[in-house]
Amino acid sequence: MTAHVPKKHLGQNFLVDPNIKNKIIAACRLQKDDIVLEIGPGPGALTRIIAAQVKTLYAVETDARFCEDLKRDPDLEAVKVIHGDILKYDLKSLPPGTKVIGNLPYYISSPIIERLIGHRSIFPQCFLTVQWEFGRRLTAQPHTKDYGSLSCFAQYYGDVKILFKIPPAAFRPAPRVVSCFVAITSREPQIKAHNEPLLFDIIRTAFQQRRKKISNSLKTFANRETLAEIFAKCRINAGDRAENLSLADYIRITNAFPPRLQTSA
């Protein structure tokens, strides 16, 4: 395959370390009848190995140079190479049960993960390489600086695990940051919010002002008396800050909102 000059603005840091490639593939536990979506195949470091092990592989890549190379490669004839933007590609066209694998372009990790979670009925498992700090935010627990709305969103809809760290030297060109490989497994919420848009609106608002007391940051949602009643009912200390509340606390707060105030989003 032709060696193309990497485009920095497309997050092109290509995986070159064979041990890490093998670790990634082993972690995905591919089966012969798997249908896989690969995000950003680039020159195909993972594409070749995945294609040899699964039934169907869709590979969505925005850089036309790599799409042409992949389409011309006789070993990859069966791969459905799609030239497009993963943020626009019609994910609903993929069969339910599709596994997602991707060494993500870091500049759009957040919107990609939001989209994948938004289509979780199609994707039971996502295996993704992300920046280490981003992986920490996805898996963070209350009372830590990494804990925020991304942690709550990802953990509401799935189990998120960091499987291993990946050093910059595993890529060419080497990024300036450490990376990690994460697995997101979709599941039903452990406690369901009656109004999910309101839940995420409350969480986002709380973390936008993470230094403020929760009683202050949520005052756009209800008057002081109503908020005090909600906190008392949920046994939440109104003096707590956003990062002190668990996801379960936010769900209880949302579910305690009186019906007349369940109007968010």
Query: Interface with ligand SAM by CB under 6 A: which residues?
Result: 10-15, 40-42, 45-46, 60-63, 66, 85-87, 103, 105, 108
Please say which residue, 34 or 61, places its beta carbon nearer to ligand SAM: 61
CB of 74 to ligand SAM, least distance (A): 20
Give the nearer residue to ligand SAM in terms of CB position, either 81 or 245. 81
- Cβ distance to ligand SAM smaller for residue 62 or 155: 62
Place of tokens 């709380």: 206
Shortest Cβ 162–ligand SAM spacing (Å): 18
Could you tell me the smallest distance in angstroms from the CB atom of residue 198 to ligand SAM? 30
Report the residue number, 15 or 227, with the smaller CB distance to ligand SAM: 15
- Residue with CB nearest ligand SAM? 40
What minimum distance in Å lies between the beta carbon of 108 and ligand SAM? 6
Asked, as a colleague might, if the bond just before 173 is cis with ω within 30 of 0, I would say yes
Tell me how far, at minimum, the Cβ of 15 lies from ligand SAM, in Å. Answer: 4
Let me know how long the chain is.
Answer: 265
| Closest separation in Å from C-beta 239 to ligand SAM | 43
1/191 with CB nearer ligand SAM: 1
The smaller minimum CB distance to ligand SAM, of residues 173 and 258, is found at 173
